[in-house]
Structure 1
Amino acid sequence: MAGNKKGNRPGIRRVGRTLAFQVLYGTHFRDADMDMETFFDVNPLVMEQESETAREFARDLVMGVEAKKAEIDKTIETHSQHWKIERIALMELFILRLSLYEMMFTDIPVKAAINEAIELSKTFGDGKSRGFVNGILDGAAKTLKK
């Protein structure tokens, strides 16, 4: 995870987190033979991102979500009350995966991870996304031990 490097401001993290979400969402459409690192590197959004710090932060998040996806999905299913992973809209699913990765496996404060997920759901989801994402993450936050 990107540490306290120069330029690692909250604004840069938000840019990196948004980029990570967009790349993760795009994985649903990727060629099954392409590994995640290559997929990340050739993504036009990544190549267009001017901030190296944002790209590094996004890379760390994407690779982390990919590595811990099974654990993250288990947490989503535990807290989604009668919603199987397959029934969750892709937008919300990738926002949840990203946020739960941050909550479970990084030093990002839980409240910050939830707030950022809500911002992503406002930007990319529909009118019900925010409440759905917040409900699952709030439930997960109560049971997670950092």
Structure 2
Amino acid sequence: MTGKKKGNKPGIRRVGRTLAFQVLFGTCFAHAENPADIETQFATNPLVQEQESETAREFAHELVLGVDAHLAELDKAIEANSQHWKIERIAVVELTVLRLSLYEMLFTDIPVKAAINEAIELSKAFGDDKSRSFVNGILDGAAKSMKK
């Protein structure tokens, strides 16, 4: 028997990460005049309500709250590693993937390579043909900066 906790399988984390991406993506379109707080947006998201795995929901919740709490720092890191790209010019899918992955790279114990690989998978699933290389390039630059 392994020492891993039940529900801590990579599949559950991927489901949670995908759910976090979907919630964060949706928050980009919240009404500016009457924005709901991140907790309300998470709790009322239909994808969260439909998710059967409590572990996946909890992991997604941690990621969403973490990205929200560190948004300014994450955007600064994205701009620092995206040559000639301002945040406003980056497509919402790629921006959301980058924020989520950089949060994992900078503020969690998830290995950098794993965070980058998961970001590439998200960009393949939700982005266009160029998303993968764009996301990989920025995250690779951020990973190199972290080593310095």
Unpaired stretches in structure 1, ≥5 consecutive residues? none
- Superposition RMSD on alpha carbons, in Å? 1.3
**Letter aligned with residue 75 of structure 2:** D
Q: Pick the structure with greater CA Rg.
A: 2
Following superposition, the deviation at residue 33 of structure 1 comes to 2.9
Tell me which residue corresponds to 1:17.
17
Superposition pairs for residues 123-134 of structure 1, below 5 Å?
123-134=125-136
Q: Distance in 2 between matches of 1:96 and 1:74?
A: 11
Moved over 2 A (4+): none
Secondary structure of 2:123's counterpart equals helix
Q: How many residues align structurally?
A: 143
User: Which one of the candidate residues 37, 60, 63 is aligned to 1:61?
Assistant: 63
CA distance in 1, matches of 2:75, 2:38: 18
Deviation at 1:7, TM superposition (A): 1.1
Q: How many Å separate the matches in 2 of 1:29 and 1:135?
A: 26
SS at match of 2:20: helix
Which residue in the other structure is 2:91 paired with? 89
| Residue aligning to 1:37 | 39
Provide TM-score, normalisation by structure 1: 0.95
Tell me, in whole angstroms, the C-alpha distance in 2 between the residues paired with 1:139 and 1:11.
Answer: 27
Gaps of at least 5 residues in structure 2 are: none
What amino acid is the match of 1:80? S
> In structure 2, what residue type is equivalent to 1:63?
L
CA distance in 2, matches of 1:75, 1:105: 13
How much identity, in percent, do the aligned residues show? 76
Deviation (angstroms), 1:28: 1.2
Tell me if 1:110 matches 2:129. no
